[in-house]
Chains A and B, each alone.
Chain A
Amino acid sequence: MASTAEIQSGLAEILEEVAGVAPADATPEKSFTEDLDVDSLSMVEIATAVEDKFGVAIPDDELGGIKTVGDAISFIEKNQ
């Protein structure tokens, strides 16, 4: 079980790799599309990377509801 802090830093690593987001910018209140300029195809890549890193699959119908970094952290926490 990863802690919230571990999930946040793991997600930040993924965001840096996939979308070039500076780790310091990957804070819970940030919107993927509005604040971090992550497009829909990159979100699919992020979901795949989350599954690899945390063993948590994000179904397509859930992916659309994940708007912020905080939403993603909560989803991973609940489903890990």
Chain B
Amino acid sequence: MNFNNTDVVVTGLGATTPLGGDVASTWDALLAGKSGVTRITDEWIEPFPAQLVARLAQDPSEKIDRVRSRRLDRSQQVAVVAAEEAWADSGAGDAGYDSLRVAVVMGTGIGGAMTLLDQDDVLEAKGPKRVSPFTIPMLMPNGPAAAVGLAIGARGGVHAPVSACASGAEAIRWGLDMLRLDRADVVLVGGAEACVHPLPMAGFASMRAMSTRNDDPEHASRPFDAGRDGFVLAEGAAALVLERADAARARGAKVYGKLAGAGGTSDGYDLVAPHPEGEGAQRAIGAALRDAGLSPSDVGHVNAHATSTPVGDIAEAAAILEAIGDHAAVTATKSQSGHLLGAAGALESVFCLLALRDQVIPGTQNIEQLDDSAAVQKLDIVRGAPRKATFTAALNDSFGFGGHNMALVFTTA
């Protein structure tokens, strides 16, 4: 195996989120402390215990024409929107790369659930012959990756990791591996999710995983707060373009930062509950730091997974404390964006890179009373307004139902 331990850099970013229709508007809204969370007002929501959602700030139909949209599940539409922004931002499409050496790794947690459920309605109402011939390509979990591969003409491989809410981060790690293994010259990576539909809403609510603070949408997602009661489901996508540092420099590409290392582990503990001390998360963070050749003291900022669930946030706080200590400035951007599930790791990686670029750490909103667990109390959690800081390395955690743990380390280039 030809293992090439070359530096990998990020040359393009894209996103469509509840905070904005692109990277710039999302970042501005994040730093302004805005919330993407609203209460669903559709009639169907009435019997639901959890009625909050973070919908896209800009509908994908504003960027993708009608004919193209009708054969893409919403999860694929958001993937394409974010990917096309990242691809254009990177300039890689005009850099003379051979399409045989262009790859895509785009994860999703749920995939084409909206198509599956909508077409099941068609099946029940009108019979099998009326089910759309696009049903399978629209619901398959590799659909967002495939749609992006088609959009940018990638012929070097299209892959779709599925690890629940760690999928986006896993895609980034996979892209790093592809470049190090010399399987591609440029890899577009990211995550996509769009499953705001009664069934997923009901399923997450039945797990008691979602916030029921229905009367107070903007304050419902409150990671690390004593009163947190679950996550808020969000939709969106984020994408990053990865290239080898030498190639990016040679073509004069803009470089956001280096993807210095990645680590992934599994808990082997419970299907959905995190290990109480975040044992697997600690190992993922440790592995990412070793991979990056950094020591814990080098990490100046952590964008935590912190979804605002009672058990998850404490376990992660314990893992961060154990793996890197209490010196890093920690933030939980899901307090504003909601939880983008399989896109979360990609979006929060975008935030890490912008934080490094601007030397600013977004604040965590909605902490009125910090959780009283020892680990949360010890961490340096940035609350409220963004904080100016001087730092060269940022860590992004992502965890998924199934016991998946991912950690990514980004550094200034």
Residue of B67, B130, B132 touching A20 (CB-CB under 8 A): B67
> What does the 1/0 interface line of B123-159 toward A look like (CB < 8 Å)?
0000001101110010000000000000000000000
B65 touches A45 (CB 8 A): no
Q: Is A5 an interface residue (CB 8 A)?
A: no
B133 touches A44 (CB 8 A): yes
Q: Which residues of B contact A20 (CB under 8 A)?
A: 65-67
B133 touches A41 (CB 8 A): yes
B67 touches A19 (CB 8 A): yes
Q: Is A74 an interface residue (CB 8 A)?
A: no
How far does the Cβ of B255 sit from chain A's closest Cβ, in whole Å? 38
Q: Can you give 17 A-B contacts (C-beta < 8 A)?
A: A18-B67, A18-B70, A19-B67, A20-B65, A20-B66, A20-B67, A41-B71, A41-B133, A41-B134, A41-B137, A42-B133, A44-B133, A45-B132, A45-B133, A45-B134, A48-B129, A48-B130
Q: Which residues of A contact B66 (CB under 8 A)?
A: 20
Q: Which residues of B contact A44 (CB under 8 A)?
A: 133
A contact residues vs B (CB 8 Å cutoff): 18-20, 41-42, 44-45, 48
Among all A-B residue pairs, the 8 with the closest Cβ atoms: A20-B67, A44-B133, A41-B133, A41-B134, A45-B133, A19-B67, A48-B130, A45-B132
A48 to B133, CA, bound (A): 10
Known: A41-B133, A42-B133, A48-B129. 4 other contacts (CB 8 A): A18-B67, A20-B65, A44-B133, A45-B134
In chain A, what residue has the closest Cβ to B65? A20
A42 to B132, CA, bound (A): 10
How far does the Cβ of A25 sit from chain B's closest Cβ, in whole Å? 13
How far does the Cβ of B399 sit from chain A's closest Cβ, in whole Å? 37
In chain A, what residue has the closest Cβ to B131? A48
Q: Which residues of A contact B70 (CB under 8 A)?
A: 18
Q: Which residues of A contact B130 (CB under 8 A)?
A: 48
How far does the Cβ of B388 sit from chain A's closest Cβ, in whole Å? 49
Q: Which residues of B contact A42 (CB under 8 A)?
A: 133
A20 to B134, CA, bound (A): 16
A19 to B71, CA, bound (A): 10
A48 to B66, CA, bound (A): 19
Give the residues from 7 to 54 in chain B that come closer than 8 angstroms, CB to CB, to chain A: none
Q: Which residues of B contact A18 (CB under 8 A)?
A: 67, 70
In chain A, what residue has the closest Cβ to B134? A41
Give the residues from 49 to 101 in chain B that come closer than 8 angstroms, CB to CB, to chain A: 65-67, 70-71
How far does the Cβ of A73 sit from chain B's closest Cβ, in whole Å? 22
How far does the Cβ of A37 sit from chain B's closest Cβ, in whole Å? 10
How far does the Cβ of A72 sit from chain B's closest Cβ, in whole Å? 17
A48 to B128, CA, bound (A): 12
In chain B, what residue has the closest Cβ to A45? B133
In chain A, what residue has the closest Cβ to B129? A48
How far does the Cβ of A59 sit from chain B's closest Cβ, in whole Å? 12
A49 to B66, CA, bound (A): 17
In chain B, what residue has the closest Cβ to A43? B133
A48 to B129, CA, bound (A): 8
A44 to B129, CA, bound (A): 10
How far does the Cβ of A26 sit from chain B's closest Cβ, in whole Å? 14
Q: Which residues of B contact A45 (CB under 8 A)?
A: 132-134
A42 to B129, CA, bound (A): 14
A20 to B67, CA, bound (A): 6
In chain A, what residue has the closest Cβ to B136? A41
